[in-house]
Amino acid sequence: MSNKAGLEGVVVADVQTSLVNGVEGKLIYAGYSIEDLAENALFEEVFFLLHNVRLPNAEELEAIRSQIAKQASVPQEILDMMKSLPKETPGMAVIRTATSMLSAYDPDAENLTDKDVAREKAARLTGQLTTISAAWVRISKGQEPIAPREDLNLAENFVYMMSGEGPDKTASEAVNVYLVLLAEHGMNASTFASRVITATGSDMHSAVVGAIGALKGPSHGGANAEAMRMFMEIGEPENVKPWFKEHIKEGERRIMGIGHRVYKALDPRAAVMKLHAERLAESSGNTKWYKIAESLAEEALGDDYFIERKLFPNVDYYSAIVLSTLDLSIDMFTPLFAMSRIAGWTANIVDQMGGRLIRPTANYVGPMDLKWTPVEER
């Protein structure tokens, strides 16, 4: 029996949350194009859309916004635990650990089957993950964390809790677009991980912790931080051509933020993110990283190796530039991805609840018919 490496093309669920069309480079959340949503939607509208497969009316939107904001505070014990960690602990390790600890304070911890309770838990966890992420921005710099405000939307609350000011409108809008673009993406690795955990009958916190772990890797969400580190290694726009020639020799080293399992055309989120990256770079007065990213992408898009393999920039590539304009440390880039993707994770978790155990098969290729030898004879 042969195996399907990386489960490429294997269909594991019928979903209503998103459609990733890799041939045409299109992405739809529950019927709506990503371009339309990025232009118009508040993250909370996308959260509702993914969980209900329809947009909220004005009353429902205000209800979900306030439900998330009102439950976004985290127990002091969790903030104290975060303060006790070494300041250089990676942000993804911090949010993974804090999310796990939150389960000890979950008022509905015993309820593993009621989907309405699970949706409430999803809203609570979504707010709390934002609070934890903003708190770590401050704690890692030796500052006191700031509690969330009940009157703000999630993007504004993040900017407010991170900076202690405002919230600044441009920064909040940039965070909102980022959150909308990253919220959901078919059967990506972290969502699949969350479904595998849920299908065992386990709890939402466990599934989200597993998803955070999967997102952390540089082949998935961790690529936004790696892309930024690569732009910094290049250093100046005029270094792009020699850097590309020297480092990107036929598959010797991957360009982070380029390539995708499904997209064999430009990732539509990358196109939207590129526009925002350019605008934000110009308004911040620092266009260096954008210029490096743009000219590196041009090198790759014009190179036979990348053309033959249909390798295009993915969402992580230009989101590195957007996030760098927000005064975030590179280490916090992937936690922001988690703050958004929790909408998609939890919608998939609720959908998976009560479903069949996910248990594929391994093709055994090891030795057979060996005879036991006592340890002293080996």
Ligand X SMILES: O=C([O-])CC(=O)C(=O)O
Ligand Y SMILES: CC(=O)SCCNC(=O)CCNC(=O)[C@H](O)C(C)(C)COP(=O)(O)OP(=O)(O)OC[C@H]1O[C@@H](n2cnc3c(N)ncnc32)[C@H](O)[C@@H]1OP(=O)(O)O
Binding site for ligand Y (CB under 6 A): 6, 219-221, 223, 251, 254-261, 309, 311, 314-316
Choice between 205 and 261, CB closer to ligand X? 261
Active site residue 260: yes
List the single partner that 186 binds among ligand Y, ligand X, none, CB under 5 to 8 Å by kind: ligand X
Pull the structure tokens for residue 60. Answer: 């429902």
Is 316 a residue of the active site?
yes
Q: Does 195 bind ligand X (CB under 6 A)?
A: no
Burial zone of 202 (CB within 10 Å; 0-12 exposed, 13-18 middle, 19+ buried): middle
- 185 belongs to the binding site for ligand X (CB under 6 A): yes
Rounded Cα–Cα distance for residues 148 and 88 (Å): 24
Residue 210, contacted partner among ligand X, ligand Y, none, CB below 5-8 A by kind: none
Q: Pick one of 56, 127, 148, 186: the residue that binds ligand X (CB under 6 A).
A: 186
Distance CA 78, CA 90 (A): 16
For ligand Y, the closer CB: 152 or 322:
322
For 83, residues 6+ apart whose C-beta sits below 8 A from its C-beta are 139
Classify residue 359 as left (phi > 0), alpha (psi -120 to 50) or beta. beta
- Residue with Cβ nearer ligand X (34 or 102): 34
Query: Considering beta carbons, is residue 128 or 334 the nearer one to ligand Y?
Result: 334
Nearest distance from residue 218's CB to ligand X, in Å? 12
Which residues neighbour 332 within 8 Å (Cβ) at sequence distance 6 or greater?
91, 133, 136, 137, 323
Q: Which residue is nearest to ligand X (CB)?
A: 188
User: Between 241 and 309, whose beta carbon lies closer to ligand Y?
Assistant: 309
Which of 260, 267, 331, 351 is labelled catalytic? 260
Q: How far apart are CA 250 and CA 270, in angstroms?
A: 24
Residue 163 touches which of ligand X, ligand Y, none (CB < 5 to 8 A by kind)?
A: none
Question: Shortest distance, CB of residue 368 to ligand X, whole angstroms?
Answer: 36
Give the amino acid at 192: F
Angle, helix 91-102 to helix 333-352, in steps of 10 degrees: 40
Q: Smallest distance, Å, CB 269 to ligand X?
A: 7
Note whether 261 binds ligand X by CB under 6 A. Answer: yes
Please write down the HEC assignment for all residues of 285-311: CCCHHHHHHHHHHHHHHCCHHHHHCCC
Residues making contact with ligand X (CB under 6 A)? 185-186, 188, 220, 260-262, 314-315
Q: Which residues are catalytic?
A: 260, 316
